[in-house]
């Protein structure tokens, strides 16, 4: 019992009452009172940031303040190891920078989620263990930097709100880095305040540090007290709301007496009935605003197109003209103010209720709109003119170029980009990726989850820039097809001399050219005697298989050149034949072409060119 009583009598925590040795190298520039004020500010920031992350990432998130520490900037940088996520933001009113630092685990999980990893994947595995082999551990890739940049407004917007009451705060984003050596916002010997936050994504712990230079905090030190925090900002923050409330438009009515009207006269009213108009030039009129009488008017007069009246302190409804008039001006003024405030409250309530309804409608459509942006399901009539589909830069790019682009990225990003490729591109790219990650990429592609539209937009722009060279690169030149096209138009003597020379110097190339110089479909170029010679020497089974592999139009042209009996027999055999492999049909056609080449070499047939 003695220890708790002694502790309570001493007041506060025992650790707070221990004498702290003074270190001249690291002097405490902020008192405990000011540190406590900063802690309260960042507790509000942590709550707002957690709600923002849950909304933007669609996964569980929690942020808590875990401590504030004063140290030199050099010691802070020296304590960091490995790759980190750094956000540099401008600070007002001084020309300095704020540093927001995500530890490697938190930055990795954030990137995985931004690239479409499901929440269960963030819980089950360490995202840094599933990167592409050879990925540099010291820096983020360009695509990862773009994704981290997309998350910057989530961190800075809420921080700006936390500092707004003090008349300062974080401004625009300056840059995103991964190496602490590139984040020298201060000389190493300068003092900084490090605010540590526990950042939990999908239940996995991480760390977010906010590093403030004392150059930024010193001008605000006098404001970091409970008196200023609870009194001065409160009045300043109420004034804009008060001014805004006074500018809310309210419905108003001017009521004037219109004479007496009996119940019988009311029941007798029909379209076209005549009623006496109110006498606006005499009597009492009342100005009603928001359903309440706020002013009485007397002596209404008309001058040209304008009306004028005298203000009467007591406001009475014309229907209540016989009631007792309030004679005390202060009482009447109090009642007028009360009724006016009530009217303003009612109008504000209606406006806020309408705004809440609109926000609820927007929130209900948020998932639908995000899915349309992600999966391209927007209605055609709603799409703006000139709009293009996401990742249009992928069209026409070779799979080898895409595989080279993806080789240095994490598996989750590779899976995301494969989802936007057509099947042929994706197949080529996947087959060229390292065998050790192909299965992982396919698994992530199958489990791809929602991706924030802002991330897709940034990745789309990044991809367009990276593939601009591939899209505008020179077309493939030369090749065997070009040689065949040229040789088919030169004199035969030149063609024979080139082929004979290649037979000696490059037999493989010569064989490839000869195969492409004459194909089975070119049998139509032979005259009737040459076709008869080919049919006499070539195997009819080879001709049948070769006919099976050509297009129907070419097949009809070839059969039309054959003798009628042979053509009918081959046509009947073709109808009775089942499906054959294309490789077998090509091999049979090549054997028939070899027979034609032999007959040409023996001088028994002449192969005419298309221009002959």
Q: Following DSSP, what letter does each residue of 84-131 receive, concatenated?
A: -EEEEEEEETTTEEEEEEE-HHHHHHHHHHHTT--HHHHHHS-GGGGS
Would strands 306-312 and 61-72 be described as parallel, antiparallel, or unpaired?
Answer: unpaired
Output the six-digit token pair for 589: 């056609």
Distance CA 224, CA 111 (A): 36
Is there a cis peptide before residue 93, judged by omega within 30 degrees of 0? yes
User: What are the pLDDT digits (tens) for 579-590?
Assistant: 888 888 888 888
Please report the pLDDT score of residue 474 as a whole number.
47
Residues 236 and 288 in one domain: no
Mean pLDDT of 221-226: 76
Please report the pLDDT score of residue 376 as a whole number.
42
Report the first-to-last Cα separation within the chain, whole angstroms: 117
Asked if 281 and 270 touch (Cβ cutoff 8 Å), the reply is no
User: What are the pLDDT digits (tens) for 429-442?
Assistant: 888 888 888 888 88
Distance CA 109, CA 111 (A): 5
Domain boundary among 338, 359, 380: 359
**Any domain includes 285:** yes
Mean pLDDT of all residues in the chain? Answer: 74
Please report the pLDDT score of residue 207 as a whole number.
92
Q: Is the pLDDT of residue 63 over 90?
A: yes
Residues 230 and 285 in one domain: no
Model-level pTM greater than 0.85? no
Distance CA 201, CA 180 (A): 23
**Any domain includes 398:** yes
Residues 355 and 398 in one domain: no
> Looking at per-residue confidence, does 265 or 558 come out higher?
558
> Looking at per-residue confidence, does 331 or 612 come out higher?
331
**Any domain includes 612:** no
Residues 67 and 162 in one domain: yes
> Looking at per-residue confidence, does 553 or 256 come out higher?
553
Please report the pLDDT score of residue 427 as a whole number.
86
Q: What CATH number does residue 92 fall under?
A: 3.40.1550.10
**Any domain includes 85:** yes
Residues 82 and 138 in one domain: yes
Backbone angles phi, psi at 447, to 5 degrees: -105, 20
Residues 396 and 355 in one domain: no
Domain boundary among 188, 209, 240: 240
**Any domain includes 218:** yes
Please report the pLDDT score of residue 590 as a whole number.
81
Residues 53 and 200 in one domain: yes
Q: How many CB atoms lie within 10 A of CB 382?
A: 8
User: What are the pLDDT digits (tens) for 364-376?
Assistant: 555 445 544 444 4
Asked if 109 and 122 touch (Cβ cutoff 8 Å), the reply is yes
Max CA separation in the chain (angstroms) = 134
Q: What CATH number does residue 534 fall under?
A: 1.10.220.30
Q: Is the pLDDT of residue 10 over 70?
A: no
Residues 135 and 229 in one domain: yes
177 bridge partner residues? 86
Residues 336 and 396 in one domain: no
Output the six-digit token pair for 478: 């030369």
Distance CA 456, CA 147 (A): 9
**Any domain includes 490:** no
Residues 402 and 355 in one domain: no
Distance CA 523, CA 534 (A): 9
Q: Is the pLDDT of residue 324 over 60?
A: no
Residues of the chain with pLDDT > 90, as a percent, come to 5
Query: What's the distance, CA 268 to chain centroid?
Result: 67
Residues 524 and 462 in one domain: no
What is the number of structural domains in the chain?
Answer: 4
Residues 116 and 187 in one domain: yes
**Any domain includes 29:** yes
204 bridge partner residues? 201
Range of the domain at 307: 250-256+281-359
Mean pLDDT of 421-449: 86
CA dihedral 605, 606, 607, 608 (to 10 degrees): -140
**Any domain includes 561:** yes
> At a CB cut-off of 8 Å and minimum separation 6, what does 101 contact?
80, 84, 85, 86, 87, 208, 209, 210, 211
């Amino acid at each position: 019992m003695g220890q708790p009583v002694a502790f309570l009598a001493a007041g506060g925590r025992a650790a707070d009452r221990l004498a702290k040795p003074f270190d001249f190298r690291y002097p405490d520039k902020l008192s405990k009172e000011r540190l406590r004020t900063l802690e309260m500010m960042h507790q509000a920031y942590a709550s707002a940031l957690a709600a923002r992350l849950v909304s933007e990432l669609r996964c569980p998130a929690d942020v808590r303040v875990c401590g504030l520490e004063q140290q030199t900037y050099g010691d802070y940088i020296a304590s960091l190891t490995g790759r980190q996520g750094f956000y540099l933001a401008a600070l007002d009113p001084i020309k300095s920078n704020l540093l927001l630092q995500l530890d490697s685990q938190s930055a990795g999980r954030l990137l995985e989620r931004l690239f479409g990893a499901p929440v269960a994947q963030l819980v089950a595995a360490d995202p840094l263990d599933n990167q592409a082999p050879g990925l540099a551990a010291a820096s983020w890739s360009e695509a990862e930097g773009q994704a981290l940049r997309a998350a910057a407004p989530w961190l800075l917007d809420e921080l700006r709100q936390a500092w707004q009451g003090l008349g300062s705060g974080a401004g625009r984003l300056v840059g995103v880095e991964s190496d602490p050596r590139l984040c020298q916002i201060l000389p190493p010997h300068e003092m900084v305040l490090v605010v540590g936050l526990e950042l939990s994504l999908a239940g996995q712990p991480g760390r977010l540090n906010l590093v403030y230079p004392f150059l930024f905090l010193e001008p605000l030190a006098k404001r970091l007290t409970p008196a200023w925090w609870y009194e001065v900002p409160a009045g300043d923050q109420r004034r804009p709301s008060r001014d805004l409330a006074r500018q809310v438009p309210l419905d108003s009515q001017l009521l004037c007496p219109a004479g007496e009207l009996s119940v019988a006269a009311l029941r007798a009213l029909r379209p076209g009935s005549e009623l006496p108009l109110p006498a606006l030039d005499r009597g009492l009129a009342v100005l009603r605003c928001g359903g309440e009488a706020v002013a009485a008017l007397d002596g209404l007069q008309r001058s040209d197109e304008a009306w004028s009246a005298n203000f009467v302190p007591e406001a009475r409804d014309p229907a209540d003209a016989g009631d007792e008039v309030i004679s005390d001006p202060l009482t009447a003024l109090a009642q007028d103010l009360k009724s006016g405030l009530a009217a303003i409250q009612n109008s504000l309530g209606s406006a806020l209720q309408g705004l809440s309804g609109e926000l609820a409608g927007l929130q209900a459509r948020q998932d639908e709109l995000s899915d349309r942006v992600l999966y391209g399901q927007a209605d055609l009539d709603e799409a703006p003119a000139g709009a293009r589909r996401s990742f249009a830069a992928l069209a026409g790019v070779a799979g080898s170029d895409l595989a080279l682009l993806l080789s240095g990225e994490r598996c989750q990003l590779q899976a995301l980009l494969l989802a936007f490729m057509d099947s042929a591109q994706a197949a080529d790219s996947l087959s060229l990726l390292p065998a050790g990650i192909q299965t992982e990429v396919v698994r992530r592609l199958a489990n791809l989850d929602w991706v924030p539209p802002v991330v897709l937009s940034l990745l789309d722009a990044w991809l367009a820039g990276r593939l601009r060279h591939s899209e505008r690169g020179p077309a493939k030149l030369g090749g065997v097809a070009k040689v065949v096209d040229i040789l088919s138009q030169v004199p035969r003597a030149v063609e024979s001399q080139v082929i004979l020379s290649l037979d000696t110097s490059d037999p493989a190339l010569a064989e490839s050219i000869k195969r492409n110089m004459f194909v089975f479909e070119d049998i139509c170029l032979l005259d009737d005697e040459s076709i008869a010679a080919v049919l006499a020497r070539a195997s009819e089974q080879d001709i049948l298989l070769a006919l099976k592999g050509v297009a129907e139009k070419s097949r009809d042209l070839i059969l039309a050149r054959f003798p009628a009996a042979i053509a009918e027999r081959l046509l009947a055999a073709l109808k009775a034949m089942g499906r054959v492999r294309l490789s077998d049909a090509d091999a049979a056609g090549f054997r028939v072409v070899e027979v034609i080449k032999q007959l040409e070499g023996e001088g028994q047939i002449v192969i005419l060119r298309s221009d002959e």
